[in-house]
Amino acid sequence: QVQLVQSGAEVKKPGASVKVSCKASGYTFTSYYIHWVRQAPGQGLEWVGIINPGGGSTVYAPKFQGRVTMTRDTSTSTVYMELNSLRSDDTAVYYCTKVGTATCYRDCWFDPWGQGTLVTVSS
Partner 1 sequence: QSVLTQPPSASGTPGQRVTISCSGSSSNIGNYPVNWYQQLPGTAPKLLIYSNNERPSGVPDRFSGSKSGTSTSLAISGLQSEDEADYYCAAWDDSLNGPVFGGGTKLTVL
Residue 29: CB minimum distance to partner 1, A:
19
| Chain residues 18-37 in contact with partner 1, contact rule CB under 8 A | 35, 37
CB closer to partner 1 out of 14 and 63: 63
Strand ranges of the sheet holding 68-73, from the earlier edge strand across to the other edge: 3-6, 18-25, 78-83, 68-73
Of the candidates 75, 81, 87, 25, the residue with the CA atom closest to the CA atom of residue 50: 81
C-alpha separations of 20 from 5, 102, 104, 107 in Å: 11, 24, 24, 26
Q: Provide the CA 74 distance to its chain's centre, in angstroms.
A: 16
Does residue 59 belong to the site contacting partner 1 (CB under 8 A)? Answer: yes
Does residue 46 belong to the site contacting partner 1 (CB under 8 A)? Answer: yes
| Chain residues 61-120 in contact with partner 1, contact rule CB under 8 A | 61-62, 95, 97, 100, 106-116
C-alpha span between 40 and 101 (Å, rounded): 28
Does residue 40 belong to the site contacting partner 1 (CB under 8 A)? Answer: no
Residue 86: CB minimum distance to partner 1, A:
21
Does residue 8 belong to the site contacting partner 1 (CB under 8 A)? Answer: no
Does residue 49 belong to the site contacting partner 1 (CB under 8 A)? Answer: yes
How many CA within 13 A on the CB side of residue 1?
A: 5
Contact residues toward partner 1 (CB under 8 A) are 35, 37, 44-47, 49-50, 59, 61-62, 95, 97, 100, 106-116
